[in-house]
Chain A
Amino acid sequence: MSHDQEVSREMQNAFVDGQLDAADWTALVQRMGQDEALRCQVCKLRTLKDMVKGAYADARPRRTALPANRRGWALVAGLALVFALAGWLVHDATERTGAVELHGIAARGLVVHLASSRGEVVDTALQEVEDYLHEARAAGRKVHVEIVANQTGLDILRAGKSRYAKRLEELRAKYPNLTYIACHQTADRLRENGVQVKLLPGVRYATTALDEIVRRMQQGWVYIRA
């Protein structure tokens, strides 16, 4: 950094953020010793940085711990045994492919988590759930499937909003062992923003989607994220 060069904004930012190497840092400090305007600019940047940090110092989460904390996540997983582990594996596969694959999962219950209302996600999830229930019935297996929706996924369970109302009703009429759960926290958030939330007939609320998922896992159900 020569004396003739103007010190760029990027360089000034890097200085206040501690991102300069020793040589550049030293050169900039020397330069500031002779350049009052530069010193003033850097001082303002430092002040700005402190202001941003201070503005969020009292931001605290409403929730203080994961629900599983009550008994410990290891215990939750322990109770779920192989099924829970299978759930996480399915979960991982889902994250990679963006599609659920329920075929062949042997468990007494599946909790399918829908956090998105994107058509491809919902279509795939509902199709996989239907295939799974059909397969279980044909094999004489007693299973229960619960679709838990939160975030934008809640939209599929909302009366007057869901594009899937008819399909969901048909599925439930065909398979009484299929239930739909809505996240109360998400609904509350929508209401706080002035959105009216009315659920489809037969849909139940859980305090939060996570509470419900953990509760089901404690009962040995497999968790699938759609």
Chain B
Amino acid sequence: MQGLFGVSAQFRARVEIQREALYRLAYSWCHDAALADDLVQETMLRALGRGGQLRDQAKLKGWLCAILANCLKDHYRGAQPLEPLDEQMPSPAESPESASASGQLAARVRAEIERLPLGQRLVVTLVDLEGFSYAEVGEILEVPIGTVMSRLCRAREALRPRLMDFAAAQNNKIRSIR
């Protein structure tokens, strides 16, 4: 894909196709639209510069996600001392309470995802949003598959009571209105 004059148009087009998926992931990781845009731009720039390093074209999406995860780590590293991923807890942009008041399930889910430690957030979104296998997530984040499974398990353990209760309450509200 690295032609005489640089990266090929085909490779660039294949990278571009992944923009939306990359943005969705980036947004689910940082919950900041402008930062997500920045991270995706940076990812694509790095990908176009490193196209020659990708040996297996079938792994393009996973490769791009790995670059995206590194961009995110670089961002946090530049912004503040990097704590272990499992410990990193950003301050939520939207509190669960306000999301609950707005009655929007999606907003509540996002708020709860945002409350997860970064390491768990990365794993649960890679699996649930993009359907990566545990082995692929391990490759993307450069962690053992056992770590992927335990982070995923802890993430869902944290999400389940908060979101299932919320969903049940919403359901009851709808029934009472009817």
Asked if A pairs with B, the answer is yes
Which residues on A are within 8 Å of B, measured CB to CB? 9-10, 13-14, 17, 19, 44-45, 47-49, 51-66, 68-69, 72-74, 76-78, 80-81, 84-85, 88, 91-92, 95, 115-118, 150-153, 185-186, 188-189, 192, 208-210, 213, 225
B164 touches A189 (CB 8 A): no
Report whether B133 and A19 are in contact in the complex, using a CB–CB cutoff of 8 Å. yes
Flag if A61 contacts B36 (CB, 8 Å). Answer: yes
Seen from chain B, the residues whose Cβ lies within 8 Å of a Cβ on chain A are 2-9, 12, 16, 19-20, 23-24, 27-28, 32-38, 40-42, 44-46, 48-50, 52, 74-75, 77-79, 105-107, 109-110, 113, 124-125, 127-129, 133-134, 149-150, 152-153, 156-157, 159-160, 163-164, 167
In the bound complex, CA of A10 to CA of B79 (Å): 34
B167 and A189 contact, CB distance less than 8 A: no
Provide the main secondary structure of the chain A interface: helix
Closest to B35 in A: A189
Q: How far is the CA of A208 from the CA of B45 in the complex (A)?
A: 13
* B48 and A189 form a contact (CB under 8 A): no
20 residue pairs bridging A and B, Cβ less than 8 Å apart: A10-B149, A10-B150, A14-B134, A17-B134, A17-B152, A51-B163, A57-B106, A59-B27, A63-B40, A65-B16, A72-B12, A74-B5, A76-B6, A77-B7, A81-B5, A88-B49, A116-B74, A151-B78, A185-B37, A189-B38
**Residues of A with C-beta under 8 A to B41:** 63, 66, 208-210
Q: Is the CB of B19 within 8 A of A185?
A: no
A122 CA to B41 CA in the complex, in Å?
A: 21
Given contacts A17-B134, A88-B6, contact A53 B156 (CB under 8 A): no
Q: Do the beta carbons of B134 and A68 come within 8 Å of each other?
A: no
Task: Let me know if A59 and B24 touch, CB within 8 A.
Answer: yes
Distance from B94 Cβ to chain A, minimum over Cβ atoms (Å):
12
Do A14 and B149 form a contact, CB below 8 Å, given A56-B27, A56-B129?
Answer: yes
Q: A19-B133, A74-B12 are in contact. Are A9 and B157 (CB under 8 A)?
A: yes
> Closest Cβ of chain A: how far from B57's Cβ, in Å?
17
User: Are the CB atoms of A13 and B6 closer together than 8 Å?
Assistant: no
Besides A55-B109, A95-B49, 16 other A-B contacts (C-beta < 8 A): A10-B149, A17-B152, A44-B160, A52-B113, A52-B124, A52-B125, A54-B106, A57-B106, A61-B20, A62-B34, A66-B48, A74-B9, A85-B5, A118-B78, A151-B78, A185-B34
- The answer for the CA separation of A16 and B126 in the assembled complex, in Å, is 14
**Assembly CA distance A52 to B124 (angstroms):** 9
A65 to B44, CA, bound (A): 10
Interchain CB contact under 8 A, B6 and A48: no
